[in-house]
Amino acid sequence: MKLCMIGTGYVGLVSGACFSDLGNSVICVDKDLNKINLLKKGKIPIYEPGLEEMVLRNIKNKRIEFSTNLESSIRNSDIVFICVGTPTKKGSSSADLSQIYNVAKIIGKFINKFKIIVTKSTVPVTTGDNIEKILKKKNKKNKFSVISNPEFLREGEAIRDFTYPDRIVIGTNDKRSNRIMNNLYSPLISKGAKYIHTNRRAAELIKYASNAFLATKITFINEIANLCEKTNINVEDISIGMGLDKRIGSRFLRAGPAYGGSCFPKDTKAIINTADKFNTNLSVIKTVVKSNENRSNLLLGRVYDILNNKVRNKKITFLGVTFKANTDDMRDSASLKMIPKLISKGAIIKYFDPTGFKNEFKKYKNVFCCDSIKNSLKNTDLVIIHTEWNDFKSLNFDKLNKKKNFFIFDMRNILQNGKIKKNNKRYFGIGK
């Protein structure tokens, strides 16, 4: 099939590459000429394991191409995927859908035959209805079908998640488009993926409801970790004991910093906003959002306690600053809240992240990016393990830091507590 992916961000690029790997002809379109030129050379603007190799392979096999020409890309495609951003609107909790609707207006101009228009972006309920209205205004002649096909890709695991999905959700009342989408995904369905057919609004809400529930699980175990710290209980025992219950499951039950990334923060706010529009009170999700917003301040309090409130001139090392491992995504990372507050109290911050320098900290005078773990740990007073990269799980702190007295705050509980104590280090974890 001939597919057009509008937007070469995380969703569009990963989905486009994976669809091409399944044998489809894919054109990825973006208005950013520099990005498109880089992609034509196989250079990937985001960090995602395995993505570069997949793109290069399909460029070579002429199954994927990149363009800024939206008109020809739409005209020459059977299915058009809208994969543009839906960030939180400034000064509001609602999703900013301006990019979605602008793209819809353009698509309407260039529909030259029956086409399926797919919202791959995360959008609130009724967005598909609005896209359909826009297309009808712009196109009086040719038929089309607007459907919802939400993505469920985890950063750092995106290619696997696409290739071996838990489910494929298609929201449409049109039998023809449902049949075509089923055929598109048939290579994955044949490997066991569950194909779920709903109406369009249901598919839109499935995505938001899923993210809100996962955010709730993270927030729940973080609050249980707070109780564990007060009652001398290891939260990991609680997570294991709960996770073995099939009704609950073990995933997303690891205590740590506040949830971040491109999805959970904005999507929890957006579903609350949608509910308010329909006069429905999502009190549980509202509480989740509030608790998560307080999480970084609570962990900062732990840092102050560890340092006996003597933060000024202390050298503090962050191991990892992205919101999770195996990604370079800094969006709503807890480090973005913690580091500026530590700086304001006079701390000197060093950080090492496997994905390199972060522009987000460029404006701060006393924040330094290190080119190695060794350099980041040299003569530091406190090590904060912020992100659970495998690189940090087996470090020999005796060799890397000659200071006799320094602290380790393991926000991800990835180190062996016993080994740290044996080496006469002062170790602090989460929920312990």
Spell out the SS3 assignment of 5-27.
Answer: EECCCHHHHHHHHHHHHCCCEEE
H or E segment to which residue 132 belongs = helix 127-138
- Residues contacting residue 404 through CB under 8 Å, at least 6 positions apart: none
Give the Cβ contact number of residue 124 at 10 Å: 23
Q: Do residues 378 and 251 share a domain?
A: yes
Catalytic residue among 4, 83, 228, 263: 263
Domains of the chain: total: 2
* Same domain flag for 213 and 190: no
Final residue before a domain boundary, out of 151, 172, 198: 198
Q: Which two tokens stand for residue 417?
A: 């507590």
Does the active-site annotation cover 28? no
What does the pLDDT read at residue 421? Answer: 59
For residue 373, give Cα distances in angstroms to 15, 26, 360, 379, 409. 33, 40, 20, 12, 16
Q: How many residues does the chain have?
A: 432
* 26 and 92 share one domain: yes
**Are 101 and 206 in the same domain?**
no
Query: What is the CATH number for 127?
Result: 3.40.50.720
Question: Residue 171 pairs with which residues in a beta bridge?
Answer: 148, 198
63/132 same-domain check: yes
DSSP state of 392: G
Identify whether residues 301 and 427 lie together within a single domain. Answer: yes
Interatomic CA distance for residues 4 and 396, integer angstroms:
49
Judgement on whether residues 281 and 363 belong to the same structural domain of the protein: yes
Contacts of 311 (CB under 8 A, 6+ apart): 303, 304, 342, 345, 346, 347
C-alpha to C-alpha distance for 326 and 357, rounded to whole angstroms: 15
Q: Structure pTM?
A: 0.93
The CA distance from 389 to 404, in Å, is 25
Among residues 129, 291, 133, 124, which one has the least CA distance to residue 217? 291
> E-strand spans in 243-287?
none
Query: Does the CA dihedral 51-56-61-65 come out positive or negative?
Result: positive
**Among 171, 198, 225, residue at a domain's last position:** 198
Q: What angle do CA 46, 88, 110 make, to 5 degrees?
A: 70
User: Which residue carries 């039950």 as its tokens?
Assistant: 253
187/224 same-domain check: no
| Residue range of the domain that includes 53 | 2-198
pLDDT at site 422: 55
* Residue whose tokens read 């729940």: 220
Q: Does 286 lie in the same domain as 191?
A: no
CA–CA gap between residue 18 and residue 48 (Å, rounded): 13
Q: How far apart are CA 55 and CA 65, in angstroms?
A: 9
What is the rounded distance in angstroms from the CA atom of residue 319 to the CA atom of residue 317?
6
Task: Show the low-confidence residues of the chain (pLDDT under 50).
Answer: none
Residue with tokens 């709960």: 242
On the CB side of 2, CA atoms within 13 Å amount to 9
Same domain, 106 and 208: no
Judgement on whether residues 210 and 266 belong to the same structural domain of the protein: yes
pLDDT at 397: 81
Which of 198, 230, 258 finishes a domain? Answer: 198
pLDDT at 142: 73
What is the overall mean pLDDT for the chain? Answer: 95
Query: For 391, how many CA atoms within 13 A lie in the half-sphere containing its CB?
Result: 15
Model confidence pLDDT, tens digit, residues 142-182: 789 999 999 999 999 999 999 999 999 999 999 999 999 99
Kind and range of the H or E run holding 187: helix 186-189
Beta-bridge mates of residue 66 = 28
194 and 270, same structural domain? no
